[in-house]
Amino acid sequence: MKGSKHGNDDARPTADTDGCGASRDPCEHIRHDLNAAQEELAHLKHTLNRIQRIARLGYWRLSLKTGDLFWSDVIYDIFGAEPKTFTPSLLGFKSMVHPEDLESVEAAIVRAHQWGQHDVVHRIIRPDGEIRWVHELADNVPEGDEQVLIGTVRDITEQKRLELRLRQLSRTDELTGLFNRRYFMQRLVQELARYRRYGRPTSVVLFDFDHFKHINDTHGHPAGDQVLVSVGKLLRHKLRTNDIPARLGGEEFALLLPETGIQEAVGVAEKVRHLITEQAFTSEEGHRFGAAVTCGVSAFVGSEETVEAILHRADHNLYEGKRAGRNRVVADEFHS
């Protein structure tokens, strides 16, 4: 009986087997693995947040059915919103989209409904008034009977600023800040096409400085640059916003004057000539000197007009002015 009693005692669960089978080691191992997994998940989440902040890339989730919107922390930073006071929603998001871009954003959301893809670049206006550029990408993911957009938003403001700067450099003369020859020719071709289609008047003024080499030889090249820079400022400030002033090279300049007939263009050329003549310049040695220009003016005419023809006429008129004594304006069948 004692043997059987001892046998029954051995069959009863002990503290070593309490609720976990043969030993408690497997449970402790599971708890250890679970804690390690939780720590790794927290670390990965922290790393992901760091990556998002470095890349200025945020994650969002939008229910197309309810309009509920989730933002990651980075998106709050990009939009300048305070998580404690701002609850993301489709309506709230739209209120922060630049008014000029709202139509394209709404169209992108409609396309996401239809095709499952969302890709749009637009501006936002932060609560502090700052305007920033963002790029949104997303997929339309079905979740039961609900359509959900899951995507990212990236702050591309610096990229846009760089693109704008590169675009400006590609069409701008570095010294004067005026448009360069390439851009002037592009716009001239566009205006000719508009003239051929609608018959709207457009004129061209070519001008260069009289005896500019003498200015450089007498007062130095910095003085010559001073003259060119000053004329660049004058043209930017005195012409209409739709006029195209350009430096073609050296001391040669051009004005493209849309919606301007020949007589009005002569008036513009005379205004520019007088403004330049009235300016006084000072060399690095303190010597004061002046400058003058001669202008050639031409306008689009006839159904067979070409870019080459109008530039040839304006250039011919310019050199007619040079031969006639300089510091004057010469135009097609019009002398001043």
Q: Which residues are catalytic?
A: 251
Is 71 exposed, middle or buried, given 0-12, 13-18 or 19+ CB atoms closer than 10 A? Answer: buried
Residue 119 to residue 105: CA distance in whole angstroms: 9
Other Cβ atoms closer than 10 A to 88: 19
DSSP code, position 229: H
| Helix (H), strand (E) counts: the chain | 11, 13
Longest dimension (CA), the chain: 142
Please, are residues 291 and 227 in contact by the beta-carbon 8 Å criterion?
yes
Please, are residues 206 and 252 in contact by the beta-carbon 8 Å criterion?
yes
Residue 237 to residue 239: CA distance in whole angstroms: 6
What are the backbone dihedrals phi and psi of residue 167, each rounded to the nearest 5 degrees, phi first?
Answer: -65, -40
Radius of gyration of the chain (CA): 36
- Residue 234, SS3 per DSSP: helix
Decide the pairing of beta strands 131-143 and 281-282. Answer: unpaired
- Provide the terminal-to-terminal Cα distance of the chain, rounded to the nearest Å: 139
Alpha carbon 312 to its chain's center: 36
Residue 87 to residue 82: CA distance in whole angstroms: 9
E-only strand ranges, the chain: 57-63, 69-71, 117-125, 131-143, 146-155, 202-209, 244-249, 252-258, 281-282, 288-289, 293-299, 329-331, 334-335
